[in-house]
Amino acid sequence: MPDRMKNPPPDKLKIEAFAKINLFLEVLGKRPDGYHDIYTVMQEISLADEIELSPSDEISLDCDDARIPSDSRNLIWRAAEALRAEAGIGRGVAVSLHKRIPHGAGLGGGSSDAAAAIIGLNRLWRLDWRIERLLPVAARVGSDVPFFLYGGTCVCEGRGERVTPIDAGEPLWFVLVSPPFAVSTAEIYSRVDSDLTNEPVRCNVKEIAVFGSSGAARVAGMLFNRLEAVACRAEPGIVVVIDALRKGGALGAMMTGSGSSVFGVCEDSRHARKVASLVEGMGVGQVNVVQSRPRRACCRAGDSIGEN
C-alpha cells in the first residue's frame, strides 16, 4: 500500500474510535499485580466516537459529554503523554471528542479513544512508527488499548494486552442495548474470584477463526462471559435486558465485558432491524443496530499506522 505518512500532516485530523463487544470472555485467575488473566475474543463494531486532532503547543481536550473527564484522567490525554514521552518530543495536540459510545457499558469506549489518538498522533506528529513500536505504548495506557490498534476480531490474553488478530470471514449483525445504568469494572472483577472454582471454559480458536462464515446461529451458540453472572447479581437490570433481546428474537444474547451493555446476535441486517424495533418498544435502554468491523489493513506486522 502507498506510504501516506510521507505526505504532509493535515491541519486537522478526524478519526472514528469504534466500540467492541466480547464474544467470549473467560477469567483465568488473579495475578500478583492485582489484575486478572483473561482469555477473550473481542469484536470491533460500527458504533463509534468521533475525535478531531489539531496541532498545538500543549495537550488539551474538549468533550461534549460533561461526565467524561477532560484532563489527565482521560485515556486520550494519557495516550498523548505516553506517545510524546516515548518519542522524546515536546509537541502537543488539541483534541475534540464527540461521545457516542456509552460510558461504563463494557464497550471499551475510553480504550478505543486512546488507540485512535495514538493512531492519529502517529501521523500528526510525523512519527511513522510501525505497530510493533506503538503496541508497548498502548499497553501502558490501558489493557484494551492494544486491541483497538488492530480492530476487527482478535483473541486477547493476559490483561488483554496480548493480541492475536483473526480473519473472521463475513460480517455479523448485532442489536446492542445499553441500559440507563453503568457498572464498575473494578467491582465486578473483585467479585468474580469466588466463581473461579471450576476448570476454565475453553474456546476453540480454530472455530473462532471461521465463525463469520459459519453462520450467526453458530456464533450465538459459542457465546460465553464469565463476568455475566457476577454482574447480573450486582445489577439485576442486566437480566431484564438479556431477556428483552431473547424475547425480541435474537439468536443469542449476552452481556459484553463487565457490563452493562448487552448484545444480541442476528441473522442479517433485516433481522437486526426487526429485533431492534421490538426491543425499543420494551424501553430497556439505548438500542443500536451494529455490524462487525474488519481489521485495519494498515495494522499488519511491519506496516506503519496512519489514519483509521
What residues act catalytically? 20, 144
Judge whether 126 and 4 are in contact, CB under 8 Å: no
Q: How far apart are CA 157 and CA 298, in angstroms?
A: 22
- List Cβ neighbours of 119 (8 Å cut-off, separation of 6 or more): 15, 134, 149, 305, 306, 307, 308
Residue type, 272: A
Evaluate whether 67 touches 75 at the Cβ level (below 8 Å): no
- Give the chain's end-to-end CA distance (angstroms, integer): 14
Please give the single-letter amino acid code of residue 277.
Answer: S
Total Cβ atoms within 10 A of residue 116: 29
